[in-house]
């Protein structure tokens, strides 16, 4: 799938939105998408799926957007826990 400017902008906005929600829910600077914070973030993003199915969906969405951003800046892979 070729990367478009619009998809890169969408991915960038999504990653910043998730990061801001992580900080707000954690009450401090937090860059790890822990399982305990995922339901709250999913709710804030308007994902009304049940608790158990929300977690994998949120991670899939996050990984998809992160992959697009990294590809756009030329990063081949990043070793993370998410």
Task: Provide the residue-wise pLDDT of the chain in tens; the chain has 82 residues.
Answer: 566 788 788 888 888 988 999 999 999 998 888 878 888 888 888 876 555 555 576 777 778 777 877 777 777 666 655 5
Q: Is 77 a domain residue? A: no
Structural domain including 47 reads 5-72
Rounding to the nearest 10 degrees, give the CA dihedral for residues 61, 19, 75, 54.
-20
Q: Is 9 a domain residue? A: yes
pLDDT for the residue 5:
81
pLDDT for the residue 41:
85
pLDDT for the residue 28:
95
Asked if 68 and 14 touch (Cβ cutoff 8 Å), the reply is no
The number of distinct structural domains making up the chain is 1
pLDDT for the residue 39:
82
Q: Is 81 a domain residue? A: no
């Amino acid at each position: 799938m070729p990367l478009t400017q619009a998809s890169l902008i969408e991915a960038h906005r999504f990653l910043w939105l998730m990061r801001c929600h992580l900080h707000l829910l954690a009450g401090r600077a937090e860059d790890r998408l822990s399982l305990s914070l995922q339901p709250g973030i999913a709710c804030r993003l308007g994902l009304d799926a049940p608790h158990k199915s929300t977690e994998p969906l949120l991670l899939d969405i996050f990984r998809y957007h992160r992959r697009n951003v990294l590809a756009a800046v030329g990063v081949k892979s990043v070793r993370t826990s998410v």
